Structure 1
Amino acid sequence: MTSKQNSREGILETASKLFFTQGYHATGLNQIIKESECPKGSLYYYFPAGKEELALQCIASVKEFVVQKWRNYFAANEGPAEAIQAFVLEIADEAEATNFEEFMPFSFWVSVETSSISDKLRAACQDALTQWQSVIAEHLAQSGIERGSAAETATVIVSLVEGALILAQTNKDKTPLLTASRYIPFIVHKCAQRTSE
């Protein structure tokens, strides 16, 4: 990897961390420059449109990272319910390991916070959440669940996980995530039941 790539990746990594821990509005470009230890010119070289462009790249990176993570869990587990449970339990353990200080639910830091100020950011968030739902729906359908029901269930699951993340972050307690994980098999089973009726 070249130093230019290192510099760009360093800026993205720092910006993502700050956006996730303190939100979009509270994160300034000067703080990103300082914490990434990159020259100010580098940030504007790679992201000439500034903070919004940088946030868009961060959202795209998170989207792809989470999509791949979902795919890995579906590949490593026997059924979709087990895969989704394992995904949620890993999030719970990671959140607890960082004392709930190194993450913020995606739906809060970007979707809610930025949707009213930038159509581009709102559209990028919409795309990320849609992609996550699509991966889940695809694997539910592969398990034999009717596609319409699979899509609805994927929406419920993403909503459940994001809501549990908000509660876990607020309470600094992983219990909401553990509770959500216990309900996953029930949700998937009811979805499969509807298909067979």
Structure 2
Amino acid sequence: MGEKSNSRDLIVETAARLFFSQGYHATGLSQIIKESDTPKGSLYHYFPNGKEELAYVCIEKTNEHVLEKFKAVFEQHQTTGDAIQAFIRDMADDTEKSGFTGFLPFSFWAAVETSCISNKLRSACQDVFTDWQEVIADRLQQEGALEVRAKEAALLMISMMEGALIISLTNQSKQPMLTAADYLSAMMKTAVLTK
């Protein structure tokens, strides 16, 4: 049983890394099988509907991973602003350590590349962004922000974080993410104070 679930996990991890590093269209199932070092039958057993189903699972798994990271960072910091700043700074450090080529959670690959080819994948990406916004907005509301203001701040935070990640990867510098972290921290604090 453990060996079977291990094969599935290897396939998902490999696919997510390849989708991120080279794109959905450029990643073939044969490459995923080869790089995950799993039998061809395993991929088709776990993902009988092929690449789209596999991408969908990658998006769901990544969402779970990021939501866990948000939860952990919120538990470690008293304010949303401090938590978001730490979250983005950690992501910037991880990005730099990977040489700007390693797998980063979610990022723009799934939303941009798959949303125009598959309504199922577009909907999954939409759910990811909605989940992230809700987690942040809920935390801001716990600190006293008005619901509308909290939702707006959360949307802006996700947009800026994703944009800074794209620029950091393009420039191969973590500075855009660090700048976003500092500004977003201040903005989150303002969202709580604004009534």
| The two structures share one fold, judged by TM-score above 0.5 | yes
Q: Which residue in the other structure is 1:103 paired with?
A: 103
Q: Which residue in the other structure is 1:33 paired with?
A: 33
Q: Give the structure-1-normalised TM-score.
A: 0.96
The runs of 4+ residues in structure 1 deviating greater than 6 Å are: none
Contact 1:104–1:169, Cα closer than 8 Å, also in 2:
no
The answer to whether the aligner puts 1:15 opposite 2:18 as a matched pair is: no
State how 1:49-88 maps to structure 2 within 5 Å.
49-88=49-88
Q: Secondary structure at the match of 1:78?
A: coil
Which consecutive unaligned segments of at least 5 residues does structure 2 have?
A: none
Offset of 1:105 from its aligned partner?
A: 7.2
- Structure 1 vs Structure 2 CA RMSD: 1.2
Q: Distance in 2 between matches of 1:11 and 1:185?
A: 37
Q: Which amino acid in the other structure matches residue 174 of structure 2?
A: K
The answer to whether the aligner puts 1:173 opposite 2:182 as a matched pair is: no
Q: Distance in 1 between matches of 2:58 and 2:18?
A: 11
Q: Distance in 2 between matches of 1:58 and 1:106?
A: 9
Contact 2:168–2:176, Cα closer than 8 Å, also in 1:
yes
Q: Secondary structure at the match of 1:62?
A: helix
Q: Which residue in the other structure is 2:160 paired with?
A: 160
Q: Which residue in the other structure is 1:122 paired with?
A: 122
Which consecutive unaligned segments of at least 5 residues does structure 1 have?
A: none
Work out the percentage of aligned pairs sharing the same amino acid. Answer: 52
Equivalences, count:
195
State how 1:178-193 maps to structure 2 within 5 Å.
178-193=178-193
Contact 2:16–2:103, Cα closer than 8 Å, also in 1:
no
Offset of 1:106 from its aligned partner?
A: 3.3
Offset of 1:190 from its aligned partner?
A: 2.5
